[in-house]
Amino acid sequence: MEKYEKLEKVGEGTYGKVYKAKDKVTGQIVALKKTRLEMDEEGVPPTALREVSLLQMLSQSLYVVRLLSVEHVDANSTNSNLDDSDPSKRNQTNNKSNLYLVFEYLDTDLKKFIDSHRKGANPRPLPPSLIQSFLFQLCKGVAHCHSHGVLHRDLKPQNLLLDQDKGILKIADLGLGRAFTVPLKSYTHEIVTLWYRAPEVLLGSSHYSTGVDMWSVGCIFAEMSRRQALFPGDSEFQQLLHIFRLLGTPTEEQWPGVTALRDWHVYPKWEPQNLVRVVPSLGPQGVDLLSKMLKYDPAERISAKAAMDHPYFDSLDKSQF
């Protein structure tokens, strides 16, 4: 890790700290993501091995943030002196080590980008062609992950990094869901955002699939057009009510099995609203695509690959991607 000079802490993801750093030799700016790796008698944990190598492969896509290298740091090599007095403690630290995932650094993300269009000196809508281009790239990246059997599970504007000069959007924070122990609370005790969470997850479904990511894509699509979140809930219950108020309270006809889900309760019966009211500037094709991303029944929700062929993208020059 001596290769890198840490410049500043840029965030605390669910799985650990993220630093902006500089490669001392090349001067390249990178993002360092620090993760704990628990070693046991059998050495490097198989889950970590499989998931980091998967990440390594997935990041070959232009629409996924590139993993430049993986650096392993034995934690006890730096701590051993401190713990010499307490053998039991030393034993504990023996198996701890850190893994630094070195990613390409992009200086902005979709959340900051949307914020800059909502507030500040010059509030203005995002150009429709830019929304179209970002959504296409997002679908392309998600399709890439899904075709390799990987769910993102936490797509949100903060996780979509932008190269503003080139107009490129890249998916970040991918795939570490199972390799690393998920903390009960996030690292900083920050509230993990629920805004992009699919209703089946909120209702405690034990089986969920690619549809959870497509729901998030829908929420992000609407947010680019509105410049504010579509469903800004602050608890799981509130989150569901936000969704139900717009899309109507789901019924067994619409979504077979919904009332049997673990966290289903009796809710007020709202009627579905017209989506155009919340995304007036999107146009009929955009609204149609959005409605397909926000289908209640995950099986009916449009796939990333099918979304890329939706007429909403007809006016987009796809050859550039």
Q: Is 22 annotated as a binding residue?
A: no
Q: Which stretch binds another protein (CB under 8 A): 3-11, 44-52, 125-133, 217-225?
A: 44-52
Residue 7's nearest CA partner among 18, 19, 16 is 19
* CA–CA distance, 230 with 206 (Å, rounded to integer): 25
- Sorted by sequence, the CB contacts under 8 Å of residue 76 that are 6+ apart come out as 83, 90, 93, 94, 96, 97
Residue 124 interacts with another protein (CB under 8 A): yes or no: no
Residue 142's nearest CA partner among 297, 316, 302 is 302
Q: Which of 6, 60, 84, 119 binds another protein (CB under 8 A)?
A: 60
Residue 1 interacts with another protein (CB under 8 A): yes or no: no
* CA–CA distance, 33 with 103 (Å, rounded to integer): 8
Residue 39 interacts with another protein (CB under 8 A): yes or no: yes
Q: CB of residue 95 vs another protein: minimum separation in angstroms? A: 9
| 288 annotated active-site | no
* CA–CA distance, 275 with 56 (Å, rounded to integer): 39
Cβ contact 31:19 at 8 Å: yes
x/- letters, 92..121, toward another protein (CB under 8 A) = --x--x------------------------
Residue 77 interacts with another protein (CB under 8 A): yes or no: no
Packing angle between helix 283-293 and helix 211-226, nearest 10 degrees? 150
Q: Which of 107, 115, 154, 173 is catalytic?
A: 154
Q: Which stretch binds another protein (CB under 8 A): 54-62, 200-208, 234-242, 265-273?
A: 54-62
Residues at the contact surface with another protein, assessed by CB under 8 A: 39, 41-44, 46, 49-50, 52-54, 56-57, 60-61, 69-72, 74, 94, 97, 147-150, 178
